């Protein structure tokens, strides 16, 4: 989405080609834009969706090869208030910064979360933020789910944002997560490559949908415990809830994930309420100005450290989690030979 003169965001235009056996037009548009079916139907009713240049009903089923153009109007403007909220900054220079986000913090303002977000906190620091994205998402290069902790990249200048955005699209920004999944994967290394879109039956969830956006995650098992596996997850794409959806799709949801079937046994794992075991622990990217390779690591937070110790009880030496050693180091998370 670009900005009009005066800083107001302009409408965004999206195009897609209808596949074979395309679903209803509202379902197809919702899946492609990652919005609800009701939102897609509203766009269609308001004449903002064209099929080969003509208007169609929400129930229309496009023929293979038809070009669908969607014009999304900018959201209503709402000022984002700067707030004094402490942040753990893992890296910062004049162009970029990396935040180690705590679980429970929403990344940017949205209905139901207009304050207390990471963007509110970033504005409260008084440092510059890029304005390439729409208002309320200043500086945000990629996102993390509310209950996912860990490293998140922020651009401070427009130039840095454009370069990092292109790097992200080209899959040259490396993001690896520590995850605990219920049960045991069928093999030590596993790639899940399944398209993701809004769940047609529950718009608050994501799901594996044939018409969804391509998504790939590589999983490496670092440890196998009685009831769960400790995994390293490497994101090749960044779809909403991608790791959680992919693990749930193969029958091994993230421990503590109430949305995708992993919420049972929380007390067994000593996880706090609403917390799931997912942490963005390793971020590698090329600096957008200097070209230097940046490598940032985030130790496992204390709540996940306790959960890991509870899960591994009886499987490891008593001193495995003693001292300042990051449990991820102990399990070889940062070794690509595993």
Return the pLDDT at 134.
76
CA torsion 206-211-217-221 (nearest 10°) is: 70
Say whether both 310 and 236 belong to one domain.
yes
pLDDT score, position 35: 80
Whether residue 266 is contained in a domain is answered as yes
The CA-based angle 225-208-308, given to 5 degrees, is 20
Q: Are residues 201 and 315 in the same domain?
A: yes
Task: Give, in order, the Cα–Cα distances in Å from 7 to each of 118, 271, 300, 306, 307.
Answer: 21, 43, 40, 46, 46
Q: What is the residue range of 134's domain?
A: 89-169
- State both tokens at 1: 């989405």
What is the domain count for the chain? 3
- Amino acid 162: pLDDT: 96
Write down the pLDDT at residue 88: 97
Euclidean distance between CA atoms 334 and 318, whole angstroms: 22
Check whether residue 61 and residue 96 sit in a common domain: no
Q: Which residues are catalytic?
A: 145
CA dist 306 and 337 (Å) reads 27
180 plus 307 within the same structural domain: yes
**Are 160 and 203 part of one and the same domain?**
no
118 within some domain = yes
pLDDT at residue 76, rounded to an integer: 63
- Give the residue ranges of the chain where pLDDT is below 50: 1-8
Radius of gyration of the chain (CA): 21
Q: Within this chain, do residues 165 and 55 fall inside the same structural domain, yes or no? A: no
- Token couple for 236: 């090749």
Token pair belonging to 136: 């309320």
Q: What does the pLDDT read at residue 117?
A: 94
- Rounded to whole angstroms, what are the CA distances from 306 to 84, 211, 309, 313, 321? 29, 40, 5, 10, 9
Which residues have C-beta within 8 Å of that of residue 191, sequence separation ≥ 6?
A: 216, 217, 218, 219
Q: What CATH number corresponds to the domain at position 315?
A: 3.30.2350.10
Examine the domain organization and report whether 25 and 146 are in the same domain: no
pLDDT computed for residue 195 by the predictor: 96
Q: Which of 169, 193, 219 is the last residue of a domain?
A: 169
CA distance 34 to 45: 18
pLDDT of residue 214: 94
> Using an 8 Å Cβ cutoff, are 118 and 108 in contact?
yes
What's the CA dihedral at 252, 255, 261, 267 to 10 degrees?
140
**Nearest-10 crossing angle of helices 37-45, 25-33:** 120
294 domain residue, yes or no: no
pLDDT at position 109: 83
The per-residue pLDDT for 201 is 82
pLDDT recorded at residue 320: 66
Interatomic CA distance for residues 104 and 26, integer angstroms? 32
Domain co-membership, 207 together with 150: no
Question: Residue 54's domain is classified under what CATH number?
Answer: 3.10.290.10
- Domain end among 135, 169, 203: 169
> Does a structural domain hold residue 315?
yes
5 inside domain: no
């Amino acid at each position: 989405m670009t900005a009009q003169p005066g800083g107001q965001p302009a409408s965004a235009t999206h195009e897609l080609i209808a596949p074979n056996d395309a679903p209803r037009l509202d379902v197809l548009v919702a899946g492609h834009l990652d919005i609800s079916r009701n939102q897609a139907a509203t766009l269609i009713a308001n004449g903002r969706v064209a099929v080969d240049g003509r208007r169609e009903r929400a129930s229309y089923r496009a023929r293979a090869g038809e070009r669908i153009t969607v014009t999304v109007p900018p959201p209503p403007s709402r000022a984002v208030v700067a707030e004094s909220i402490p942040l753990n900054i893992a890296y910062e220079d004049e162009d970029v910064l990396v935040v180690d986000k705590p679980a429970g913090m929403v990344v940017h303002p949205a209905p139901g979360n207009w304050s207390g977000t990471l963007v509110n906190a970033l504005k409260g620091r008084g440092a510059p933020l890029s304005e390439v994205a729409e208002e309320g998402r200043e500086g945000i290069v990629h996102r993390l789910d509310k209950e996912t902790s860990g490293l998140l990249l922020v651009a401070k200048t427009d130039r840095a944002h454009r370069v990092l955005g292109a790097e992200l699209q080209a899959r040259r920004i490396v993001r690896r997560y520590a995850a605990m999944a219920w049960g045991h994967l069928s093999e030590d290394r596993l790639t899940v490559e399944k398209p993701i879109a809004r769940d047609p039956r529950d718009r608050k969830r994501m799901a594996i949908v044939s018409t969804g956006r391509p998504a790939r995650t590589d999983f490496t098992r670092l440890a196998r415990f009685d009831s769960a596996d400790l995994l390293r997850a490497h994101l090749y794409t960044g779809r909403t809830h991608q790791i959680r959806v992919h693990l749930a799709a193969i029958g091994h949801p993230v421990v503590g994930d109430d949305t995708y079937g992993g919420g049972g046994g929380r007390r067994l794992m000593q996880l706090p309420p609403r917390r799931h075991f997912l942490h963005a622990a390793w971020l590698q990217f090329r600096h957008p100005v200097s070209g230097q390779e940046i490598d940032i690591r985030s130790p496992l937070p204390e709540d996940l450290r306790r959960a890991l110790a509870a899960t591994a009880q009886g499987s490891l030496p008593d001193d495995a989690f003693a001292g300042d050693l990051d449990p991820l180091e102990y399990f070889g998370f940062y070794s690509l030979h595993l």
